[in-house]
Amino acid sequence: MIDYLAPACRPSTLDGYGNVRLLLAAMKRAMPAFRGTLLDIGCGAMPYRPLIEKQAGVNRYIGLDLPQEGSPAHLFWDGKVIPLGDASVDSALLTEVLEHCPDAGVVLAEARRVLRPGGFLFATVPFIWPIHNVPYDEFRYTPYSLRRIFEGAGFTDVRIEATGGRHAMLAVALGLWVRRRAITSRRHLAVRWLLSRLLTPVVWLLMCIDDRPTQLGESTLLVGLEISARRP
């Protein structure tokens, strides 16, 4: 199990370490913009709640998720209508959620509705990541499609950046390759054990030397995208 607030690069965490480290860094970049009541849409296990509640500008955290047994969410929804009034929150967060939405525009329009004028929204989406949460893995987005969807939902000041570049992409791919390969024999298990230990310092170094691309254009290699936007 990897700690989302203090990810460690170990042989057993290579498949998640790179992405979790990038997401934590993205969250820390967004933290100063969070204010007042924050709605965490698709909160899951609320991994970032302790970090958010330390932010001086945030005075209330609300976790929203689909109804499921054992969920710690404060509110539940159907994936379309958020059970809050218009202009009732100051900030909204969607980490690794939009790729699971059949219609991201509908979700973002609801987020805009519950945000107060000038409210801040921050989201992340994967670009390089295996198919997951089958059959609810819907999309992988480019910066251009995201801008169109966010602006179409009524957001302004839309800013889209990469969470990580080519070195991080290689680190994430190596970690996934070695840890999530099919294990059908004791030999496979031994090979994974050995490769995991050999690749741990490689993955760590690649993450340390990674530079996020400043321009998202032709042939850009990236791991995921972070999006900030405001309700006008």
- For 58, the 3-state DSSP assignment is strand
pLDDT mean across residues, the chain: 96
Mean pLDDT of 10-30: 97
Q: 214: part of which helix (H) or strand (E)?
A: none
Residue 221 has pLDDT above 90, yes or no: yes
The closest alpha carbon to 127, from 170, 163, 80, 81, belongs to 163
Beta-carbon contacts of 216 under 8 Å, excluding residues fewer than 6 positions away, are 143, 160, 161, 162, 222
Contact 39/62 with Cβ under 8 angstroms? yes
Tell me the C-alpha distance between 28 and 166, whole Å.
21
- Give the pLDDT score at 1: 83
Residue 56 has pLDDT above 90, yes or no: no
Residue 2 falls within a domain, yes or no? no
Residue 111 falls within a domain, yes or no? yes
39-74: b (≥16 Cβ within 10 Å) or e: bbbbbbebbbbebbeebeebeebbbbbeeeeeeebe
- Give the pLDDT score at 149: 98
Phi and psi at 23, nearest 5°, equal -65, -40
Tell me the pLDDT tens digit for each residue of 103-125: 999 999 999 999 999 999 999 99
Residue 166 falls within a domain, yes or no? yes
Whole-prediction pTM: 0.95
Residue 1 falls within a domain, yes or no? no
Contact 38/52 with Cβ under 8 angstroms? yes
Residue 69 has pLDDT above 90, yes or no: no
Per the structure, the complete domain to which residue 156 belongs is given by 11-230
| pLDDT above 90 as % of the chain | 94
Tell me the pLDDT tens digit for each residue of 138-192: 999 999 999 999 999 999 999 999 999 999 999 999 999 999 988 999 999 999 9
Contact 139/2 with Cβ under 8 angstroms? no
Other beta carbons within 10 Å of 173: 15
Residue 55 has pLDDT above 90, yes or no: no
Tell me the C-alpha distance between 183 and 217, whole Å.
38
Residue 4 falls within a domain, yes or no? no
Number of domains in the chain: 1
- Give the pLDDT score at 42: 97
Tell me the C-alpha distance between 134 and 70, whole Å.
20
Residue 5 falls within a domain, yes or no? no
Where residue 61 sits, what CATH number does that domain have?
A: 3.40.50.150
Residue 98 falls within a domain, yes or no? yes
Residue 135 falls within a domain, yes or no? yes
